[in-house]
Homo-oligomer: A and B are copies of this chain.
Amino acid sequence: MSHEVEQRSLSQYLEEHNLKHTKQREAILAAFLEATGHITSEEIHARVRVDHPNIGYTTVYRTMKLLCDAGLASERHFEDGVTRYEIEQEHHDHLVCLRCGKIIEFECAMIEKTQQEIADRYRFRVLRHRHELYGHCDRCEREAAT
């Protein structure tokens, strides 16, 4: 595996919080990190089961919550009621193709600054935000035109 940095900080987090380092947590972390991103609990469970056939959904949910607390993962809620997890990284937003499901990430300092100004106007303290553009990616738009 090539995720030493993340592995190290998981261990660190576990130690700091008097939590135990288990095979299940390791397996779930690995499955999560190997995914391209935006993975569901169900998908993690399926991946992990290949090598560890009796890890349950419960442990996946509990571990993903732990990874979120540890700052390694973060939850995303798109529009289908299923929680997805992605690797925690610099903030960014998403373009989501409604036809093929492709997800493109973007970030824009200009927009961030403007939204901060809006929040200030309402004396609202922004802790986090989501900004998602739904539509058709280049390819799907062409195909739709046929």
Contacts and interface: CB of A to CB of B under 8 A. Distances in A.
Interface of A: 77, 79, 81, 95, 97-98, 104, 106, 108, 110-111, 114-115, 118-119, 122-138, 141
B111 A127 contact: no
Contacts of A127: 98, 134-136
A133 B141 contact: no
Contact of A129 (B97, B114, B125, B133): B133
A134 B129 contact: yes
A68 B67 CA distance: 37
Given A81-B77, A130-B130, A141 B115 contact: no
Nearest to A126: B135
